[in-house]
Chain A
Amino acid sequence: MAVTERIPASKLIQRIPGGGVFLTTSENIFKWGKASSLWPMTFGLACCAIEMIATGASRFDIDRFGAGVFRASPRQCDVMIIAGTICVKMNDCIQRLYAQMPEPKYVIAMGNCAISGGIFYYDTYSVTKGTDSLGIPVDVFIPGCPPRPENLLFGLMKLQEKIRNEKDADK
């Protein structure tokens, strides 16, 4: 009992007692699979990216959560971690990368800069005020300057929770 509680998909999949059969819906299986295998994009913008890199390395090991395969092409990714300050010159680039990702796609805004412009909110000419202002929908905001790797992992778990509880199977 205690073990199944810790398995994230245990609510989605029901075992028939005493038999090698389990019951679920195909939708639940897909959601579980989707959440357990996220492919982030290799995409760092500023200091927050350093924390993202640390999260990807062996000490914090994002691979434990099934999101360790950072891909260098947006075509092969389903989650974009906006890690760092968005300069005005990067706007086009980010929008294009987001558009190039295949559906279903998710966005994590990591750090105050990616959320709102952070410490660069006032009195700067070159910084975009957050991911939202680019018209890119954000699934998880992770505040901090920079957020610690644990925070990123927590954000990732929140994203997985969100995916598992999605109502609309098409997304």
Chain B
Amino acid sequence: MRTNEIFMAIKTDFPEARQEEETGAVIIPKESLLKITQYLKNHRLAFDNLHCITAIDRAERVELAYTLYSISEHHGITLKIYLTAGEENVASLAELWKSANWLEREVYDLFGVIFLNHPDLRRILNPYDWKGHPLRKSYSHPEVSIKPRL
């Protein structure tokens, strides 16, 4: 199925879903994440594979992007959630897709998004005693990162 058709299918059951203009990604409110992902996995859309979770820091908000793929149907979709600054938490999908476990740990490590009910929310790339979340715009670590003299 094409992205638009998948979006229409989601939209019929979940009217709160919107489509992002530039990317075609489906934006959903964070409260409906569990409902919608369960639907996407078990519905005939058959999204059996969670490819990637990543985040984009836009200073005033953090965007979470979930890339889903269906191995049997050969189609994919990107889900997006906008998290307002200061409320970077969202439900964990580790129960639904096993791959979410480490992907969410990565997003937590680098962006500081808290995944609620995650079975093991530890850092995964940086050392366990690391301070801060390096891919956030506000992150600074002057003692290790040297700026070039221009």
A interface residue numbers (CB < 8 A to B): 88-89, 121-126, 129
Contact = CB atoms under 8 A, between A and B. Distances in A.
Chain A contact surface mostly: loop
10 contacts: A88-B126, A89-B125, A122-B146, A122-B147, A122-B148, A123-B148, A125-B134, A125-B139, A125-B145, A129-B146
B146 A125 contact: no
Contacts of B134: 125-126
Contacts, number: 25
Contacts of A123: 145-148
A126 B109 CA distance: 13
A31 B132 CA distance: 50
Contacts of B35: none
A124 B145 contact: yes
B135 to A, nearest CB: 9
Interface string B33-74: 000000000000000000000000000000000000000000
B49 to A, nearest CB: 29
A70 to B, nearest CB: 27
